[in-house]
Structure 1
Amino acid sequence: MSDPREGLRVTHRRYVPYAHAHYAGHLVDGAYALGLFGDVATEVCIRTDGDEGLFASYSDVQFRAPVRAGDVLEVTAVVTRVGRRSRTLELEARVVCRGRPDKGESAAEVLDEPIVAVTATGTVVVPDPAR
C-alpha cells in the first residue's frame, strides 16, 4: 500500500538578485540552488509531518545549465518515498524568466520553455512519530 504523502509536490519561485552573482556573466554559484532546495524541502516536511525536518543528504546533484542574476527560478520538490523518519525527494530548479541586459538595463522575459538548471535527489528526516 502506497503512502498518501508520496507524490506531494511543493513549488517555490524566487528572483535571483544581482547581489548573489559571483562570477563573470552574472553567474550564480551552484550552492544558491541547493539553498532553495533546502527551503522547498522544509515546506515538504511541514506539510507531511508538521515539523521543519532536516536535510540529511543528496544522492545525486546535476548542474545542467547556468543560473544568472536576474533569473526567476521555480524550484520543485516531489516526495518519491516515505520511510518511518525519512522522505526521499526529487528536486528540480528551472529558470522560468531571464534578464535581458542586451535589450536594456532592466529588460527581462518569460521563457517559452523553462530551462532545467539543477536536478537532485535528496533525503530529509523528521522526528520519530512514536515520540
Structure 2
Amino acid sequence: MTDDPRLGLVVTHRRYVPHAHAHYGGALVDGAYTLGLFGDVATEVAIVLDGDEGLLAGWSEVSFLGPVRAGDVLEATCEVVRIGRRSRDLRCTARVVARSRPERGPSAAGVLDPPEVVVTAIATLVVPTPAGAP
C-alpha cells in the first residue's frame, strides 16, 4: 500500500561511543556496535507503529562505509520504507556527528560538518498479528 501514512516515519537516536567498546587499533569499534544501535532504533519504530517491541528479523544491503571510533557521537536513523501485514522494512543510516580529536588534547573533540555516513543497511522488522486480524 503506497499511501500508508506510516511510510516515511523516521526515528533517530544519538549515542556517545565509550572507549570501553574499542576492540581494535586506532580505537576502532566493531560493526556490530552500530547494528545494535540500529536494533534499538528499530524497536522504537515498532513501538510507535504497532505498540509492540517487535523482532528484528534480518538485515540486507549492509555497508560499512567508514570507521566508528571510541569518542564518536553516532546518530542512527531508521526510516520506514515498506509496510507489510506483519513486517516493515527500514532504511537505516548511521552518521558520525562528532569525533574525539586526541591530537589536540586528551579531551578535545569536534563536530563534523557535514556528518560522516559510516553504515547503511536495510532491516526487516516483524510484529505480531494485530488482535482480531485474520
Please tell me the TM-score bracket, short chain as reference: over 0.9
Q: Hey, what's the Cα distance between the residues in 2 that align with 1:42 and 1:73?
A: 17
Q: Hey, what's the Cα distance between the residues in 2 that align with 1:119 and 1:80?
A: 14
Tell me the amino acid that sits aligned with residue 88 of structure 1: D
Partner of 1:128: 129
Q: Hey, what's the Cα distance between the residues in 1 that align with 2:89 and 2:28?
A: 29
Tell me the amino acid that sits aligned with residue 10 of structure 1: V
Partner of 2:97: 96
1:66-77 correspondence to structure 2 within 5 Å:
66-77=67-78
Partner of 2:51: 50
1:109-120 correspondence to structure 2 within 5 Å:
109-120=110-121
Q: Hey, what's the Cα distance between the residues in 1 that align with 2:47 and 2:58?
A: 18
Q: What TM-score comes out, normalization by structure 2 length?
A: 0.96
Tell me the amino acid that sits aligned with residue 44 of structure 1: V
Partner of 1:25: 26
Partner of 2:38: 37
Tell me the amino acid that sits aligned with residue 65 of structure 1: G
Partner of 2:10: 9
Secondary structure of the corresponding residue to residue 102 of structure 1: helix
Tell me the amino acid that sits aligned with residue 86 of structure 1: S
What is the Cα deviation at residue 80 of structure 1? 0.3
Tell me the amino acid that sits aligned with residue 50 of structure 1: G
Partner of 2:66: 65
Structure 1 portions without partners, runs of 5+: none
What is the Cα deviation at residue 59 of structure 1? 1.4
What is the Cα deviation at residue 56 of structure 1? 0.4
Alignment of 1:84 with 2:101, yes or no, is no
Q: Hey, what's the Cα distance between the residues in 2 that align with 1:58 and 1:111?
A: 28
Tell me the amino acid that sits aligned with residue 84 of structure 2: G
What is the Cα deviation at residue 34 of structure 1? 0.3
What is the Cα deviation at residue 130 of structure 1? 3.8
- Per-residue CA deviations over 1:17-64 (Å, capped at 9, x if unaligned) read 000000000000000000000000000000000000000011110000
Report runs of 4+ in structure 1 exceeding 3 Å deviation: none
Secondary structure of the corresponding residue to residue 103 of structure 2: coil
Percent of paired sites with the same residue: 69
Q: CA RMSD in A?
A: 0.8
